[in-house]
Structure 1
C-alpha cells in the first residue's frame, strides 16, 4: 500500500501547476493539504491527517529543482539556432484507409521541399495526419481527394527545439518542457518528435508566449 508521502509526491509531480507553484513558494500548504485530504483518503482507504499531508508537501517542495535547473537545461542542445519558428500552418487528419500509404508516397514525391515550406506526414493506428505550410494545401487536398477528412485546423504556428543527442537518456525531458508551457497557459495542438528535434504545434495566438517560454529555457 502506498504511503501518504508517496501518494502526495505523485499528485504533485503529475501536475505542472502544483509542482511549479510549490517550487516558487506560491501555494499555502495547509490549504492545499485540506483540499487533497478527500482524494488521499479515497485512494489510500484510510483516514489521513492534515498535518501529515502538510509535512509530505513540505518535503516534496524541498526536493523540487531550482528554477532553470535539471532536465529542462539538459534537454536543449548547446549551440546556436536551437529554436526555429514556422507560421501559417494547417493540420489535416484523415481516417486510415487502403490508400493511405499511396497518398503519403505521392505527397512526398510531389511536394515542393523548399526551405520556406513546412511538411510533416504522420500515420497512426486509425488516422493519418499532415501538417504543412498553407501554399501546399492545394497539393495535399488533391493527393488525398476522396479520403475521409476527420479534422482540419488552420492558423497554426510551430516552434522546433533542437535537443541534445543524449536527450533520449534524460528522464523527464518532455515533461520539463511541457510543464513550463502549461504554467504559462500555452495550449498545444500537437507534438512531432524525431531523435533530436521536438516540434510543438499551437494556435497562432499562443505562438509568441510559447517562443518566449522556450527561449528562456535555452542554454548557451
Structure 2
C-alpha cells in the first residue's frame, strides 16, 4: 500500500539533484512540500496536506554515501592525469557477422600509430568506433561493406586516470556526471576501462568540461 513517505521516496530517488540538496539541508522543506502536494495527491488518488508531506521529508533518510563519503572525497582528490584529445570522429555501425573482420582491417592500419586515438565499443545491436579524424578515410574503406548508422565529427575526448580502488567506491561516476550536468554539458559518448574513464563531448564544450573535471580534484 502506498503511503506519503513511499511517494516522497519515489520522487526523490527519481531526482538525485533534489535528493542531494535535501541531504545537505539547503532546501526549504515547507516550499518543497507545497511543490510536491499535487503530484503526491495524484499518486495516492486523494488530497494530501502539505504538512504531512513536510513531515515525510524531514524523516527521509538519503543514502549514507550520497555526497559526503570520506572515501569518495579522497578518491576524487586522487584522480590521476587528465588528458584531452581533439579532432575526433565517432562512427556507429550495425552489428553483423563480418563486423569483426572489418575491425581487424582498421586495427592493422592504425595499431602501430601511438599518436592515434582509437576506441571500439560493441553493443548488442550496434558498435561504435571513435578515432582521430585524420584516419576516417581508413574507416570508410575498411567498413565499406557494413551498414553505417551514424557519424559525428568535431568531437573531443577527456580521459581521466582513476585510482585503483575506484571500483569499490559508491557514487564516483555519479559525482562526475552530476557536476557535468549542473554545468549543462551534454556527453556524446562515454568509454571506460578498469582504471580509466573517457567522456566525449562536442568541441565547443571541451574547455568547460575540462574545467569541471579539474575542479573535482580540489
* TM-score band w.r.t. shorter chain: 0.7 to 0.9
Q: What pairs with 1:61-76 in structure 2 (closer than 5 Å)?
A: 73-76=73-76
- Provide the alpha-carbon RMSD of the alignment: 2.9
Unaligned stretches of 5+ residues in structure 2: none
Would you say the 8 A contact 2:163–2:195 is kept in 1? yes
Matched residues, number: 218
- Residue by residue over 1:193-218, the C-alpha shift from the partner in whole angstroms, topping out at 9 and shown as x without a partner, is 11111111111122111111111112
- Residue by residue over 1:59-78, the C-alpha shift from the partner in whole angstroms, topping out at 9 and shown as x without a partner, is 55998879786565344472
Would you say the 8 A contact 1:157–1:201 is kept in 2? yes
Alpha-carbon separation, structure 2, partners of 1:105 and 1:77: 39
> Structure 1 62/160 Cα, relative in aligned 2: closer, same or farther at 3 Å?
same
The answer as to 2:169 corresponding to 1:186 is no
What displacement does 1:91 show?
0.6
TM-score after normalising by structure 1: 0.83
TM-score after normalising by structure 2: 0.83
Would you say the 8 A contact 2:65–2:171 is kept in 1? no
Would you say the 8 A contact 2:80–2:163 is kept in 1? no
Give the corresponding residue for 2:32.
32
Alpha-carbon separation, structure 2, partners of 1:120 and 1:109: 14
2:188 aligns to what SS in structure 1? strand
What displacement does 1:173 show?
1.7
What displacement does 1:95 show?
0.9
Give the corresponding residue for 1:49.
49
Would you say the 8 A contact 2:86–2:156 is kept in 1? yes
> Structure 1 77/26 Cα, relative in aligned 2: closer, same or farther at 3 Å?
closer
1:166 aligns to what SS in structure 2? helix
Alpha-carbon separation, structure 1, partners of 2:143 and 2:189: 21
Alpha-carbon separation, structure 1, partners of 2:161 and 2:59: 34
Q: What pairs with 1:134-153 in structure 2 (closer than 5 Å)?
A: 134-153=133-152
Q: Which has the higher contact order (CA 8 A, sep 6+)?
A: 1
Give the corresponding residue for 2:128.
129
Quick check: 31-40 or 6-15, which moved more?
Answer: 6-15
- Residue by residue over 1:136-167, the C-alpha shift from the partner in whole angstroms, topping out at 9 and shown as x without a partner, is 11111111112111111111111111112111
Alpha-carbon separation, structure 2, partners of 1:136 and 1:172: 36
Would you say the 8 A contact 1:191–1:201 is kept in 2? yes
Give the corresponding residue for 1:85.
84
Alpha-carbon separation, structure 2, partners of 1:135 and 1:17: 40
What displacement does 1:41 show?
3.3
1:97 aligns to what SS in structure 2? coil
Quick check: 105-114 or 91-100, which moved more?
Answer: 105-114
